């Protein structure tokens, strides 16, 4: 997220070569995060409740290395978080359901 924001900043200041470097780095880090998430979900599928959308690693899935397509925590305040998802809940109700 930090690299993506830095890329946006450099791009808005006209430093497009530097921005491209940060965009590429951000994409690479997102790919790494998706790989780690896939491994984690393989071992503990019950963690799905903590994310704002269904997580599928199928080929036709909406997940990609784009920062907007990454799943967010249900307690996130991110603008990219899916708001219309009926599973979105409060931190307190997630904690209660996990216990």
Report the length, in residues, of the chain.
99
Residue of 82 and 34 predicted with greater confidence: 34
pTM metric for this prediction: 0.65
In this predicted structure, what is the pLDDT of residue 91? 64
| Distance between CA atoms of residues 11 and 17, nearest Å | 8
Q: Which residues pair with 73 in a beta bridge?
A: 51
User: Nearest-CA neighbor of 38 among 65, 76, 67?
Assistant: 65
In this predicted structure, what is the pLDDT of residue 4? 81
31-81: pLDDT as tens digits: 898 899 889 989 988 888 788 777 777 776 677 777 777 887 777 776 666
């Amino acid at each position: 997220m930090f690299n993506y924001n830095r890329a946006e900043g450099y791009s808005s200041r006209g430093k497009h070569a530097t921005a491209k470097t940060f965009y590429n780095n951000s994409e690479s880090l997102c790919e790494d995060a998706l790989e780690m998430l896939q491994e984690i979900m393989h071992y503990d599928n019950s963690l799905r409740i903590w994310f704002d959308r269904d997580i599928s690693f199928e080929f036709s899935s909406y997940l990609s290395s784009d920062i907007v397509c990454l799943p967010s925590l249900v307690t996130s305040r991110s603008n990219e978080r899916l708001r219309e998802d009926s599973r979105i809940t409060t931190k307190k109700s997630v904690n209660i359901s996990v216990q």
